[in-house]
């Protein structure tokens, strides 16, 4: 429907802009051809010659292209040549008028927008695999697009910045990533993006304007009541409204998320490396660990990040000192210093006996200058800093900071996990629970991942046990067979060789099993989260959808193939080896 509407708009604009030039050309050529037809020519063999309509139109056509084949099919007389000259001058003027109209047409912003929308709709219509709608292609959208491309998941993007959408077409993505320069809060553009299509899995609102994110989320719920919504919001009032939209809604607040993540790292030092390793962050090793110290912390900048980190530290029973230019004593901190974070105010805050410093303003240059002053006053202080712009990455990495928080990166990683591995949330919650043996379980999982995957890129694999995604498994279950989790994690060519996979979570109906055992019986409708290599992912898919591979990993023998082998197996009453 959207493609038909765009096509109608393109036709309408073309006809409106080119109606007069086309009519002028038709009239000029009609009069010119009729004149050439009715003007008598020279006598040949005593008979006056007249041009036919075909020859007259042929003459006008090749003269319009300045080809100049001469006077054919016979030599003209002076009257015909006079008429031809008049027609040529008039036709040239008319063609200049028509060409100018064509140039104006291709400069018409409404025409260009209609063509772009039609092209976008056709690109979306060609996507047959499950895909996502991403509203906003800033730093967060760019990182998210790269992550989805690495997982082979297509997406469509809508953004108001024409330059960003133009840059989208020059990226080397592995899957289709069409983009449209438009306001995503307008319903028609969401329809053009295919929000009502069956293979549209979710809509993600990550624009820089939180009001627009709220509007997009509300429109998406009205246009498709069943679609999954993921939106970025840092305002409590908006979060309350979003929570009441109904259906599956995920609210991503990078500062609240990072505060929880930061506190969890204090008690689980290896969690930081595990999280970064799963999102394929560069130069991250599984066996790395970061343990922020416990003690007095100095918070420079009580904005969104400073507020959340300060509150999380106080909740853990730590002392905090806040330095901020605005007078806001209601922070719960042990001391509040009004002013900028300079060497003097850092000394007043007690930087010499502080274990850590958080710099969370919205100015990257200011943040780096604060860290340089802090390092001079206390070389051993733990440094946590907020990086606002992605292009400043080189400067922050060169500063040898202990922990860097980039809001766009935190948001993109969280959204990526929600899209490609929604079961990762209960997995992390389980590992971070304050229960006996959790640290040992996390260490065991990390050692298992290091052994099976090592330095290769990890792949988070979400398997939905349905007929469309696991045809062989579902067919086996319908026939009364049993399929164990450990069976599908076996190499389809050698049952003594396990695949490079680790099962994280199994969700069966409303029950969630974290780190399930190999003897778990797979059921139809289950959702399973694995972590493994790219090769293991392909072999797993081959087992789940190939009855011969599945039979082999479940029974240890090969299912006979072909008529002769089936006859042989039935004759001897055993499967063929």
The pLDDT tens digits for 334-383 are 889 999 999 999 999 999 999 999 999 989 999 999 999 999 999 999 99
Q: What pLDDT score does 506 carry?
A: 95
**Lowest-pLDDT range of 25-29, 123-127, 242-246, 282-286:** 242-246
CATH of domain 256-420: 3.40.50.720
Average pLDDT over residues 278-305: 86
Average pLDDT over residues 15-30: 87
**Three-class secondary structure of residue 387 per DSSP:** coil
Residue 577 has pLDDT above 50, yes or no: no
CA angle 248, 249, 255 (to 5 degrees): 145
Q: What pLDDT score does 323 carry?
A: 92
Q: What pLDDT score does 569 carry?
A: 52
Average pLDDT over residues 419-432: 90
Q: What pLDDT score does 382 carry?
A: 94
Average pLDDT over residues 443-466: 90
pLDDT band at 201 (very low <50, low <70, confident <90, very high): very high
pTM for this entry: 0.80
Among the ranges 68-77, 272-281, 554-563, which has the highest mean pLDDT value? 272-281
Q: What pLDDT score does 575 carry?
A: 47
CATH of domain 2-109: 1.10.287
Q: What pLDDT score does 440 carry?
A: 86
3-class SS letters over 149-185: HHCCCCEEEEECCHHHHHHHCCCCCCCCCCEEECCCC
Residue 319 has pLDDT above 90, yes or no: yes
Average pLDDT over residues 321-345: 87
Residues 6+ apart with CB under 8 A from 371: 357, 359, 383, 385, 399, 401
pLDDT band at 42 (very low <50, low <70, confident <90, very high): confident
| Both tokens assigned to 186 | 């307008």
**Lowest-pLDDT range of 8-12, 179-183, 323-327:** 8-12
> What are the distances in angstroms from CA 383 to CA 33, 245, 357, 417?
85, 39, 5, 27
Query: How far is it, in rounded angstroms, from Cα 81 to Cα 103?
Result: 32
Higher pLDDT, 293 or 11: 293
Helix, strand, coil: what percent of the chain each, to 5?
50, 15, 35
| Both tokens assigned to 72 | 């054919």
CB distance 524 to 463 below 8 Å: no
Share above pLDDT 70 across residues of the chain, in percent, rounded to a whole number: 94
Query: How far is it, in rounded angstroms, from Cα 514 to Cα 24?
Result: 75
Q: What pLDDT score does 107 carry?
A: 80
Locate the domains of the chain by residue range: 2-109, 127-252, 256-420, 437-552
pLDDT band at 500 (very low <50, low <70, confident <90, very high): very high
Residue 527 has pLDDT above 50, yes or no: yes
Q: Which residues of 195-221 are buried (b: 16+ CB within 10 A; e: fewer)?
A: bebeebbbbbbbbeebebbbbbbbbbb
Average pLDDT over residues 558-573: 58
User: 240-243: long-range contacts at Cβ-Cβ below 8 A with a sequence spacing of 24 or more?
Assistant: 241/214, 242/214, 242/217
Residue 98 has pLDDT above 60, yes or no: yes
Say if 127-252 and 256-420 have the same CATH topology: yes
- Domain made up of 437-552: CATH architecture: 2-Layer Sandwich (3.30)
Average pLDDT over residues 96-106: 85
**Lowest-pLDDT range of 113-117, 280-284, 312-316:** 280-284
Residue 236 has pLDDT above 70, yes or no: no
pLDDT band at 432 (very low <50, low <70, confident <90, very high): confident
Q: What pLDDT score does 576 carry?
A: 41
Q: What pLDDT score does 100 carry?
A: 87
Query: How far is it, in rounded angstroms, from Cα 254 to Cα 433?
Result: 21
Residue 172 has pLDDT above 90, yes or no: no
CATH of domain 127-252: 3.40.50.720
């Amino acid at each position: 429907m959207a493609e038909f509407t765009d096509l109608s708009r393109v036709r309408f604009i073309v006809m409106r802009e080119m109606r007069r030039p086309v009519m002028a050309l038709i009239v000029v050529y009609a009069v010119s051809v009729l004149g050439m037809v009715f003007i008598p020519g020279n006598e040949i063999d005593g008979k006056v010659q007249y041009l036919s309509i075909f020859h007259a139109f042929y003459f006008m056509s090749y003269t319009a292209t300045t080809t100049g084949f001469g006077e054919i099919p016979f030599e003209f007389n002076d009257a015909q040549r006079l008429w031809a000259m008049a027609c040529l001058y008039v036709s040239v003027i008319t063609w200049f008028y028509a060409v100018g109209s064509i140039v104006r047409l291709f400069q018409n912003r409404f025409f260009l927008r209609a063509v772009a929308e039609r092209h976008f709709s056709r690109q979306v219509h060609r996507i047959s695999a499950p895909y996502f709608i991403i509203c906003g292609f800033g730093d967060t959208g760019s990182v998210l697009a790269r992550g989805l491309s690495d997982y082979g998941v297509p997406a469509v993007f809508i953004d108001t910045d024409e330059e960003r959408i133009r840059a989208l077409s020059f990226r080397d993505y592995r899957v289709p990533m069409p983009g449209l320069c438009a306001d995503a809060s307008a319903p028609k553009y969401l329809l053009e993006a295919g929000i009502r299509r069956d293979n549209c899995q979710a809509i993600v609102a990550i624009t820089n304007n939180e009001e627009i994110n709220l509007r997009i989320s509300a429109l998406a719920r009205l246009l498709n009541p069943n679609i999954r919504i993921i939106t970025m919001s840092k305002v409590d009032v908006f979060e309350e409204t979003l929570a009441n939209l109904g259906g599956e809604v995920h609210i991503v607040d990078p500062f609240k998320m990072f505060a929880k993540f930061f506190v969890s790292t204090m008690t689980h030092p290896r969690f930081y490396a595990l999280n970064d390793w799963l999102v394929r962050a560069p130069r991250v090793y599984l066996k790395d660990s970061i343990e922020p110290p416990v003690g007095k912390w100095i918070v420079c900048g009580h904005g969104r990040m400073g507020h959340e980190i300060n509150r999380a530290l106080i909740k853990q029973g730590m002392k905090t000192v806040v330095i901020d230019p605005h007078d806001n004593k209601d922070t719960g901190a042990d001391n509040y210093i009004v002013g900028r974070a300079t060497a003097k105010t850092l000394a007043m805050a007690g930087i010499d006996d502080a274990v850590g410093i958080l710099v969370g303003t919205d100015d990257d240059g200011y943040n780096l200058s604060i860290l340089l002053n802090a390092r001079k006053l206390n070389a051993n202080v733990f440094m946590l800093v907020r990086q606002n712009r992605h292009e400043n990455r080189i400067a922050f990495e060169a500063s040898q900071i202990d922990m860097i928080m980039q809001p766009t990166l935190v948001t993109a990683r969280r959204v990526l996990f929600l899209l490609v591995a929604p079961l990762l949330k209960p997995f992390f919650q389980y590992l971070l629970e304050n229960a006996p043996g959790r640290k040992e379980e996390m260490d065991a999982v990390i050692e298992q991942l290091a052994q099976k995957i090592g330095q290769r890129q990890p792949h988070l694999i979400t398997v939905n046990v349905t007929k469309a995604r696991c045809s062989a498994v579902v067919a086996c279950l319908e026939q009364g067979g049993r399929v164990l989790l450990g069976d599908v994690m076996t190499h389809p060519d050698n049952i003594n060789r396990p695949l490079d996979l680790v099962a994280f979570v199994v969700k069966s109906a409303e029950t969630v099993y974290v780190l399930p055992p190999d003897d778990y019986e797979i059921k139809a409708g289950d959702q399973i989260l694995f972590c493994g290599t790219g090769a293991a992912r392909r072999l797993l898919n081959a087992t789940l959808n190939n009855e011969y591979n599945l039979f082999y990993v479940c029974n240890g023998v090969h299912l006979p193939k072909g008529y002769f082998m089936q006859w042989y197996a039935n004759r001897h009453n055993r499967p063929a080896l």
